[in-house]
Amino acid sequence: ADSLPEQIHCRYELPSNETMNETNKNEKIQYPQRPFGTRNNRKVKLPILGFPSVALARLPFSTDQATADAAVRHAVEELGLRYFDVAPEYGDGVAQERLGPALKPYRNDVFLAAKTMYRDASGALADFENSLRALQTDRLDLYQ
């Protein structure tokens, strides 16, 4: 898939086709970044533009993993996105279940954040473990 599937709607204005044609095809789009501090003093810079994973939950068919894969591939390889944010509440977990397999080939090259709605430790821990399982990963870069 050379372009974003029709079912994925991006809220951000992307460069026009004319602008993209003028750009060297091998040149990656560079988005502005901002510093992000961590508790272990790891210095991370995150792009200001992230992937809207809630859109994966809104695909019309439960068999739309291929569309999710194409959208993530487009985001990483063509748009240069490196920040992915997801929550179990996005489509009752559907976004996580689609994002996980789609993100697998890029997992070491992206920053993955997940959210929880729980405000107590046991609920948040259970939600965290479910997110890891649904995302098919052994770690999150940010849990909020």
Residues belonging to the active site? 90
Q: What are the start-end ranges of the E strands in 3-134?
A: 33-37, 43-47, 51-52, 83-86, 111-114
Which residues neighbour 44 within 8 Å (Cβ) at sequence distance 6 or greater? 35, 36, 37, 38, 111, 141
d(CA 43, CA 31): 18
